Amino acid sequence: MSAIISVDRLRLFINRLRERLWVKPLAICLLSIVNVFVAKLVDEPDLARFVPAISAESLDSLLSIMASSMLVIATFAVGSMVSAYASASKTATPRAFRLVIADDVSQNALSAFVGAFIFSVVALTAVKNDYFEPAGLFAIFVLMAAVFSIVILVFLRWGDRIARLGRLGTTIDVVEKATADALKRRREAPSLHGVAKRYQDVYGQPVLATRVGYVQHVDIATLHACAEKAQGHIVVTALPGTFATPGRALAFVSDSPGGQPAIDREQVIESFLIGDDRTFQDDPRFGLVVLSEIAGRALSPAVNDPGTAIEVIGALVRLFVLWNDSGAKKEDEASKYDRVEVPELALKDLFDDAFTAIARDGASAVEVAVRLQKALLSLAMIGDAAMREAAGHHGRLALARAEKALDLAEDVVAVRAVAALVQSAAAEEPDQDAVRRLV
C-alpha cells in the first residue's frame, strides 16, 4: 500500500501523464461537456427577465462557425506539433523526445482547440433541440464568448511557442532544465532519503531482477517498510539508470537473526520500476548523456556545427555549478529510511557521462577543444577535491585526444596552454594571472 501512496511514486505517475498527449485534451473535453449542461442550471424563468434575449438562430450560426474552424485549427495544431517533434528528434537526439512532447504550452493549445470544438458541437446540438430557455441561451452565449477568448489567447501564445519548439536551442534548454531538476533533487537527497552505503562490499542475499530494462525508479519508502516489518536490512545496488537483466542483483537483503519473518523478496522486486527506456526524473546521469549526444551529433561530419557543442559545454558547466552549489545535505530527511542503504552518485561518473564523448568527437576542432579545457578549468577552480580530481582527469584525456587529432602545431599549443592551467587548478595551484588573461 505504501508504494501506491508514496510521494515519489505519485510524482513519477504525474510526470508520465504529462508525456501523454491525450490526457489534457481529454480532461478539457469532459470539462467542455460539463459546461454546456451547467448552463441549464441557470435556465430559470425568473432570471430570463434580467438577461438580454439571445436568439437561437444567432447562436446556431456562431456555434457552427466555431465548430468548423476549431476542427481545422486542431488538425493544423497536431500536424505542427508532430513536425516539431520530428525536427527535435532529428536535429538533437531521439532521447529528448519525451521532454519535447511534454511541452505544456503545446498541450494546452491542443486541449483548448479540441475542447472548443467539443463544446461547440455539444452546445449546437442542445440549441437545435430547444434544450435551453432564454436564460440558458444567454449563458451559452457567455460561455461561447469566454471559450472563444481563451482560444484566441492560447493561439497567440502557442504560435510563438511552436516556432521554437523543434529548434535545437529550445531542445537544449528543455534537456538542461530537466537535468537540473534531477540533479538538484539528487543532491538534496544523495541517498534517496536512505542511508549512505557504508561499505564498499555488499552483504546479504541478492534479490535478482526478473526482467530486462532500465531501472526508472526505486521506491525507498516501500523498501524501508519491508525491512522494518522483518527487522532486517536492505542494500540497494541498482540506482535509476542501471540496466537490469535476470541475474543482475537489484539489492541485497539481510533478514533479522531474531526469528522475525523474512523480507518479502517479491515486494523488493516490485519496488524497482523497470522500463524499456531511461527517464529524466530520477536519473540525472541520463540528462548529461543526452546533452553529450546533442553535442556529438553537432560535431559529426554531416552536421559540422561546433557552435552547438560549445553551447552544450556551457550548459554542462551550469549543471555542475548547480551540483556544487546545492551540496548542503538535509540530514533529517537523508536518514529517515535508516534500514535501506543506497550508494551515492560518483562525481567521476557524472564527468564521464558529460565530457567523454565531447572530448572524443571535438578533438579535431580547436575551438571545441579549447572551450572544453576552459570549462574544466572553471569547474576545477570552484569545486571540491572530487571535482578538481575529475576535472584534471578529463583535462588530461581531452588534451591527449586533441594532440592526436589536431594537425596544426599552433592549435596544439593553444590547447596545451589551457590544459596546463586545468592541471594547476586541479592541484590547487592555479596561475591567477594566466587565468585572468583567458578570454
Overall average pLDDT of the 386-412 stretch: 94
For residues 232 and 183, what is the distance between their CA atoms, to the nearest angstrom?
30
Residues 6+ apart with CB under 8 A from 67: 117, 120, 121, 124
Q: What is the pLDDT of residue 8?
A: 65
Pairing type for strands 272-275 and 195-196 reads: unpaired
Instruction: Tell me how far apart the alpha carbons of residues 57 and 172 are, in angstroms, rounded to a whole number.
Output: 51
* More confident position, 405 or 31: 405
C-alpha cell at 229: 516489518
Kindly indicate the confidence band of residue 2, based on its pLDDT and cuts at 50, 70 and 90.
very low
369 within 8 A of 391, measured Cβ to Cβ: no
Report whether 218 contacts 239 (CB < 8 A).
yes
Determine which helix (DSSP H) or strand (DSSP E) holds 428, and give its type and residue range. none
CB 419 within 8 A of CB 396: yes
Report whether pLDDT(203) > 70: yes
Give the pLDDT band of residue 294 (cuts 50, 70, 90). very high
Give the pLDDT band of residue 85 (cuts 50, 70, 90). confident
In terms of Cα–Cα distance, which of 1, 312, 80 is closest to 173? Answer: 312
Looking at the predicted structure, is the pLDDT value of residue 212 above 70? yes
Q: Provide the pLDDT for residue 345.
A: 92
Between 224 and 6, the higher pLDDT residue: 224
Could you report the per-residue pLDDT of 42-56, keeping only the tens digit for each?
Answer: 776 666 566 777 888
Of the two residues 260 and 290, the one the predictor is more confident about is 290
Mean pLDDT of the chain: 85
State yes or no: pLDDT of 394 exceeds 50. yes
Confidence of residue 260 (pLDDT cuts 50, 70, 90): low
